[in-house]
Amino acid sequence: MHYDFDRVVSRAGNLAAKYDERVKNFGTDQVIPLWIADMDFPTAQPIIDAVKRRAEEGIWGYTSRPQSYFEAVCGWQARRHNWSPDPALCSHALGVVPALAALVRLFAAPSDKILIQPPVYPEFAEIIEYQSRQVLMNHLIERGPGKWEIDWEDFEQKLQEAKLFILCSPHNPLGIVWSREDLTRMMELCLKHHVPVISDEIHADLVFRGTHIPTASLSPEIAANTITCISGTKTFNLAGLHASTTVFPNRELKTCFDDFWASFDIHRNNAFSVVAMEAAFREGDEWLDQLLAYLDGNLHFVKSYLDAHIPEIKTFLPDATYLMWLDCRAMEMSQEALVDFMIHRAGLGLSNGKGFDPSLTGFLRLNVACPRSVLEQAMEQLNTAMAAWRRSK
């Protein structure tokens, strides 16, 4: 079937965090929300149909997870990413971030150091600190517009201090699809220094340029050193259903993880996520293929608009994710002034770049997963604000 991603669906007032938390995050609801990483699109029709059927039953008691559930998850990985994890080594978690928090707590002691690569998803550092572990940073190096690379000397040096390494693949917010060469080099260094890897691959399905390579697919030795976190929540806009899958290299690690969640009596999907996720992984290909084409068009639109009308703000086409990293350093503003400008003069609610790397100033993240008309309005508002700013200089 054909999906209409141009259709504007109002999410205001339906408890959508992206809209209903605007005052909390920006001090006003008078902003176009282009921040938190979910989409303003209805999900695939087979998922909607599956959830409707479950809703119409009217009985939503304790829900078993059938064997077919993880078979669907692993079948999707085989079909889309040429990786065939073992369903018997898959575990349920409420989401990738809760899974990461549990893994850090279970496999690193208090005061141990956990390596990450900023600018990166802010929750990496937050969950490490919440667990009273130490954040160790291997800062990616900017080599030019859209060219961020690993500092290899620093990476290996930091591995000598690290207990765990959390990899973001594909990378958020830079949209990097790691090459086989870079992935292999990182993983071999982790093996050399006996550092286990947690690979967050939640954006794996949202790739426009290049090919996502699951970390655990590189070699048996690397697979044995890697725990992989995956989910359909980003792919199919299902974050509110709270379900992800953690793939382990052996039963011992899986049992440790499962026992942790069992201690909170958390071991089941809810009544809707179990049917939604299975429908997504079995019948979601058509919707996703159309979505990817639309999102790539949105990415090109924003880049072309900024290049043509707002040269002070530079961006690049990410290889993956529907998130764009905006370089606003030419405006020569403090981070606080930049955020204030976007909120109060441009009427845009964007993600603050400081959250991804406290050492950086002048960066913001923009979410393009919305109808094109919304982005057009956002760019027009930004252009108007920039014209007034130039006149005031």
CATH classification of the domain holding 124: 3.40.640.10
Alpha-carbon distance of 266 to 246, in angstroms, equals 14
Question: Do 165 and 219 share a domain, yes or no?
Answer: yes
Q: Is residue 182 part of a domain?
A: yes
Question: Do 305 and 337 share a domain, yes or no?
Answer: yes
Query: What DSSP letter does each residue of 170-184 carry, written as one string?
Result: S-TTT-----HHHHH
How many angstroms from the chain centroid is the CA of residue 39?
12
Question: Do 91 and 227 share a domain, yes or no?
Answer: yes
* The residue type at 196: P
Residues (pLDDT < 70) of the chain are none
Question: Do 39 and 56 share a domain, yes or no?
Answer: no
Alpha-carbon distance of 120 to 357, in angstroms, equals 7
Give pLDDT, residue 12: 81
Q: Could you give the angle at which helices 96-107 and 251-262 cross, rounded to 10 degrees?
A: 110
Q: Is residue 87 part of a domain?
A: yes
Q: Is residue 3 part of a domain?
A: no
Instruction: Give the count of domains, the chain.
Output: 2
Q: Where are the alpha helices (DSSP H) in the chain?
A: 17-20, 22-26, 45-57, 67-81, 96-107, 122-130, 152-159, 180-192, 220-223, 233-236, 251-262, 273-283, 285-309, 335-340, 372-392
Q: Is residue 1 part of a domain?
A: no
Last residue of a domain, one of 259, 283, 307: 283
Question: Do 78 and 215 share a domain, yes or no?
Answer: yes
Question: Do 175 and 96 share a domain, yes or no?
Answer: yes
Give pLDDT, residue 342: 98
Question: Do 86 and 215 share a domain, yes or no?
Answer: yes
Quick: pLDDT tens for 235-292.
999 999 999 999 999 999 999 999 999 999 999 999 999 999 999 999 999 999 999 9
Range of the domain at 302: 17-43+285-392
Q: Which of 160, 163, 115 is nearest to 139 (CA)?
A: 115
Three-state DSSP state, 348: strand
Region of residue 236 (phi > 0: left; psi between -120 and 50: alpha; otherwise: beta):
alpha
Q: Is residue 209 part of a domain?
A: yes
Q: Is residue 5 part of a domain?
A: no
Last residue of a domain, one of 283, 304, 334: 283
Question: Do 51 and 31 share a domain, yes or no?
Answer: no
- First-last CA distance in the chain: 52
Residues 6+ apart with CB under 8 A from 327: 145, 313, 314, 315, 362, 363
Q: Is residue 2 part of a domain?
A: no
Question: Do 263 and 324 share a domain, yes or no?
Answer: no
Question: Do 187 and 268 share a domain, yes or no?
Answer: yes
Question: Do 290 and 243 share a domain, yes or no?
Answer: no
Alpha-carbon distance of 2 to 150, in angstroms, equals 41
Whether 208 and 299 have beta carbons less than 8 Å apart is answered as yes
Give pLDDT, residue 13: 81
CATH classification of the domain holding 316: 3.90.1150.10
Q: Is residue 364 part of a domain?
A: yes
Q: Return the sign of the alpha-carbon dihedral for residues 41, 45, 49, 51.
A: negative
Alpha-carbon distance of 68 to 274, in angstroms, equals 10
Give pLDDT, residue 144: 85
Give pLDDT, residue 132: 95
Last residue of a domain, one of 216, 251, 283: 283
Question: Do 70 and 184 share a domain, yes or no?
Answer: yes
